[in-house]
Amino acid sequence: MRVETSDYIGQVVEVCVDRPLGSRHPEFGFQYPVNYGFVPGTRSADGEELDAYVLGPAEPLSAFEGRCIAVVHRLDDDDDKLVVVPEGRQFTDAEIRRATRFQERYFTSDIRRS
């Protein structure tokens, strides 16, 4: 089922982490400085499962449950990313930009909070 990414803001979600912190991208070889994965059973505009950056945990994970505090909305690609954090944690837009720059530097995006 395709979803509106903004509907997730403020919601608790389960993320399947298929690219743990420290792992390398299988095609491009860059290293993931954060845990990265997807929300099972969803579909985003690109037809794939909805992706998520997990900010906060400092160890590699295989799964994570946390609160979506924002969406990185790509203006030049149909592949928005949820920003999911531990309950009670907050990150500024600047902190989100720094944490996701490893991948988002190739795209034009804005950060949506609601």
CATH architecture of residue range(s) 5-112: Alpha-Beta Complex (3.90)
pLDDT of residue 80: 93
Q: Which residues of the chain have pLDDT under 70?
A: 1-3
Do 49 and 39 touch, CB atoms closer than 8 A? yes
Report DSSP state, residue 6: G
pLDDT of residue 2: 54
pLDDT of residue 38: 97
pLDDT of residue 114: 79
DSSP 67-114: EEEEEEEESSSS--EEEEE-TT----HHHHHHHHHHHHTTS-EEEE--
pTM equals 0.94
